[in-house]
Amino acid sequence: GAVVSQHPSRVICKSGTSVKIECRSLDFQATTMFWYRQFPKKSLMLMATSNEGSKATYEQGVEKDKFLINHASLTLSTLTVTSAHPEDSSFYICSAIIGTGGYGYTFGSGTRLTVV
């Protein structure tokens, strides 16, 4: 089936540095991908929707300059957390729509980011 590969699974970085998280669709073309953030004991919060070849659409309250999303190809979307701070520590998950019509979604295995 449609698989999304997300890397890295875990990353620890120092405050002030930037971290890039990759999300690749392995056996299908992902025109649309989503980035979520999951806080402990909380729901998955949609951060942004990325469409191949165009600017990402960010949800209200999400800083676009801090969470840079690039979707330059049909198989790769990246999320870069810039100038990371401890409060950015979280679990980030990418997702892609399978096929057309928005009827199916596949999810990456997530990235645990710890900023120290």
Partner 1 sequence: AQSVSQHNHHVILSEAASLELGCNYSYGGTVNLFWYVQYPGQHLQLLLKYFSGDPLVKGIKGFEAEFIKSKFSFNLRKPSVQWSDTAEYFCAVKGTGGGNKLTFGTGTQLKVEL
Hey, which residues between 1 and 20 contact partner 1 (CB under 8 A)? 4, 6
* Closest to 1 (Cα-Cα) out of 109, 111, 100, 105: 105
Task: Give me the DSSP letters along 44-79.
Answer: EEEEEEEETTSPPEEPTT--TTTEEEEEEETTEEEE
Report strand pairing: 10-13 vs 111-115.
parallel
| 5/82 with CB nearer partner 1 | 5
| 36/67 with CB nearer partner 1 | 36
Given the structure tokens 């999810």, which residue do they identify?
A: 107
Residue 110 makes contact with partner 1 by CB under 8 A? yes
Hey, which residues between 69 and 98 contact partner 1 (CB under 8 A)? 93, 95, 97
> Rule CB under 8 A: which residues touch partner 1?
4, 6, 32, 34, 36, 41-44, 46, 49, 93, 95, 97, 102-105, 107-110
